Amino acid sequence: MLQQPISITAISSISPLGSQPKEIWENYKNDNHFFTQKDDNFIAEMSSEIKKEIKTLKQSNAKYKALDNSVLYAIYASRQAIKNAKWEAKDNFGINIGSSRGATALFENYHKEFLQKNTTKPLTSPTTTLGNISSWVAHDLQTQGPEISHSITCSTALHAILNGIAWLNSGMCDKFLVGGSEAPLTAFTIAQMQALKIYARHKSEFPCKALDLSKTENTMILGEGAAMACLELGETKDALAKIIGIGYATEILEHNASLSTNALCFQKSMAMALGDMNPENIDVIVTHTPGTIKGDQAEINAIQTLFCNKTPSLTTNKWKIGHSLGTSGLLSIEMAIMMLENQTFISVPFLKPETPKHIKNILVNAVGFGGNAVSILLSK
């Protein structure tokens, strides 16, 4: 548990769910998913309306024309987040935005050109480096605070929250913008997931069976998106939610892409986030559960070990919007905040979880390749 809570004063995202809070919430309340097929592969992509807005952003500045979508998504979501938080550039807030894949499409295009011509464009390096995301957001927002980029695979966005909290607690910053951005819907990236044999292959009413422990095949599907949160130290009057606990842990690798059977990293991260709180006070857990047989089961094993016979209500958004890798944890945070605000539990339609009697404390999990788990405890 944190000695002093951290307020989330604003959150903003763009994803297949939309870009405006009302639209996103309405899409959470229905039982429709956002999967389509491209080249016979399932994907979850932005709407045509959002794509038009990203295109407009790209064309609004000559320098932005060379940027990857992962950077443009981050700029778009960051602008809205600080607007909602009423932050100004002169506040010199910090920025920590991460990505698992980074400038995937742009890097692939440059590499293809290199193989054809044995040369590449002058801006290849600066536009494909990982620090490219936070630095361009800082440039766009004209803030002078510290800016950090990192990749800790699928737990990247929640690690950004950890970093932001550390900076705030150190007294080196008053405000921190944290988040993740991912634009992974390229043939090569999907092929990498297929090579691991974890990607969904068959059409069904719900192609991604995240959190369904009865599935007999892996069903992970990639999605795209960006999500940003504005963090401030202490309890602020208009906070959307407060972070009251954080936890993290890393497993010793047995396999490059797998967790231990009982996800020891999750057991440790959740226990750390809970601190002295009675586990029975947790109403909901937004799970990481990417839709793989072993990954989903390992996390549930960890939850059942920690919470024994009184498991909180479980939910996830990956059955609806897929796995946006480095962004996914913050999209889960947004989902949790919306449940807290509306006092409505968003269930998974093909499961029958126990609906919580009230929603006050929500635990959000994320883990990446290598067993880098993070758990964030939110309260209203």
pLDDT digit string, tens, across residues 100-146: 999 999 999 999 999 999 999 999 999 999 899 999 999 999 999 99
Its pTM stands at 0.97
CA distance 232 to 286: 23
Torsion 268-97-184-286 (CA) sign:
positive
CB < 8 Å & 24+ apart, contacts of 60-67: 66/123, 66/127, 67/106, 67/127, 67/132, 67/136
Main-chain phi, psi angles of 358, to 5 degrees: -150, 165
- Domain spans of the chain? 6-233, 242-379
Residue 187 has pLDDT above 70, yes or no: yes
What average pLDDT does the chain have?
A: 95
Residue 364 has pLDDT above 80, yes or no: yes
Residue 322 has pLDDT above 60, yes or no: yes
Helix residue ranges, H only, the chain: 21-29, 48-59, 69-85, 104-117, 124-128, 132-141, 156-170, 187-195, 264-274, 293-307, 318-321, 328-342
Fold of 6-233: Peroxisomal Thiolase; Chain A, domain 1 (3.40.47)
CA distance 240 to 237: 9
Superfamily of 242-379 according to CATH: Thiolase/Chalcone synthase (3.40.47.10)
- Cα–Cα distance list, 121 to 117, 126, 245, 322, 379 (Å): 11, 11, 46, 33, 48
Two domains, one topology: 6-233 and 242-379 = yes
Q: What is the pLDDT of residue 299?
A: 97
CA distance 59 to 76: 13
Residue 269 has pLDDT above 80, yes or no: yes
CA distance 146 to 164: 11
Which helix (H) or strand (E) segment holds residue 96: the answer is strand 94-98
Residue 255 has pLDDT above 70, yes or no: no
Structure tokens at 294: 């072993």
The answer to whether the CB of 306 falls within 8 A of the CB of 271 is yes
CA distance 333 to 115: 41
- Of the pLDDT bands very low, low, confident and very high (cuts 50, 70, 90), residue 235 is very high
pLDDT tens, 154-185? 999 999 999 999 999 999 999 999 999 999 99
∠ Cα 105 111 112 (to 5°): 90
Q: What is the pLDDT of residue 259?
A: 78
Residue 257 has pLDDT above 70, yes or no: no
Structure tokens at 82: 């600080």
Q: What is the pLDDT of residue 221?
A: 98
Residue 254 has pLDDT above 90, yes or no: no
Q: What is the pLDDT of residue 251?
A: 87
The answer to whether the CB of 242 falls within 8 A of the CB of 1 is no
CA distance 245 to 315: 19
The answer to whether the CB of 7 falls within 8 A of the CB of 237 is no
